[in-house]
Amino acid sequence: MTGKKKLPIGIDIFEKLDREEFYYVDKTGMIEDLLQNRSEVNLLTRPRRFGKSLNMSMLKTFFEIGGDPGLFKGLKISTNKELCEKYMGQFPVISISLKSVEGLDFEAAKKALKDILGEEAGRFYFLTQSSKLTNEEIESYKALFRVGETGDFLMSDTAMEKALLRLSLLLHKHYDKQVILLIDEYDVPLDKAFQYGYYDEMVSLLRNMFGNALKTNPNLFFAVLTGCLRISKESIFTGLNNLKVLTLTDVRFDEYFGFTDTEVKGMLEYYGLSGHYAEVKEWYDGYRFGNVEVYCPWDVINYCDLLKADPNALPQDYWSNTRGNAMVRRFIDKADTRTRDEIERLIAGDEIVKEIHQELTYNELDSSIEVMLS
């Protein structure tokens, strides 16, 4: 297998995926579909380790002013030359991930959020020299990434809640172009807040921050948010009437997260592992998004990497321990005999029929054991 590309284990930054060095499953068709079918605010929910962060990085790399167009050479999106000329490298992009917004208390979580916002604000240091901004606007920008003697960001809570709105306004004014806003792992802060007992405070903070940035923001071209769980509009998206929610059941964007059967066959063939197709399908083809059967990419990539070294290696479960499963354990601990029987039936390959509630708040999770499957 000498000379074959490496598998991109753990790489979720698009610029790092040198395609001369790493194998890449082309998901750039998502860019065209997004431009053709987008709303002003688009929320995509998928399980963890299904390529959300890499796709968000791909969007940032494609749209951002100053990006490298060569990174898309030979990929599907490059065949649409008219679209590339109109949109590639044409927008200021604000891109944050909320996956590290956590803490044992609300103050610690706020500090983590300020760190993320401050770091992203600092990426646009050129605004301090912008001839299109007033002195007051430049000072309001500097306040977003000013640090104290301990190295902590000094922005106020009010500035934190308006940081994304402020950045979008200043970037729009500097470039005379509307801004694209990308927010990855939007629901992680709520998950952690629910676990540690400051859920209501976090809901209020995110409602204000998202409301400022996403609701009637004239500086916004469009926004994309990703996460694992769809949170009720009555929770943090109150009054947001420009939100398009694309869940697991939606046929739109169904093939862009996870690997399709054709993509898995192509990867196995490339590495000379086609003889392992049946076991890969049996172990990792366990999902259906919209109208597409989907493999867990994290499992497939890791197992292929193991097979390259040991063709006799047996499949393993790589996905389960990639993040805490406290929420699932919470439900299992409170499950009654009937629920435990149903879980055992599922494990044995049987089926059960349940009504799925796609829109929940964390406060509803304890209302009924029936919520577990949702």
Report the pLDDT averaged over residues 363-371: 66
Closest residue by Cα to residue 92 from 215, 192, 223, 214: 223
pLDDT for 237: 80
* Cα separation values, 179 from 58, 95, 216, 360, Å: 16, 10, 13, 30
Of all helices (H) and strands (E), which one includes residue 85?
helix 81-87
Q: How far is CA 97 from CA 22, 30, 54, 233, in A?
A: 24, 19, 12, 20
Q: What is the pTM of this model?
A: 0.91
State the pLDDT confidence band at 333, using cuts at 50, 70 and 90.
confident
Question: What number is the average pLDDT over the span 329-344?
Answer: 77
- pLDDT single digits (tens) 241-290: 778 888 888 888 889 999 999 999 999 999 999 999 999 999 999 889 98
Distance CA 73, CA 50 (A): 24
Q: Could you give all domains of the chain from N- to C-terminal order, each with its CATH number?
A: 26-246 (3.40.50), 261-321 (no CATH), 332-372 (no CATH)
Task: Please tell me the least confidently modeled range out of 16-25, 72-81, 110-119, 216-225.
Answer: 16-25
Q: Tell me the mean pLDDT in the region 215-223.
A: 95
- Would you state the pLDDT for residue 339? 80
pLDDT at 118 exceeding the cut of 80: yes
pLDDT score of 37: 87
Q: Per-residue pLDDT tens for 149-159?
A: 888 898 999 99
pLDDT at 340 over 90: no
pLDDT at 327: 66
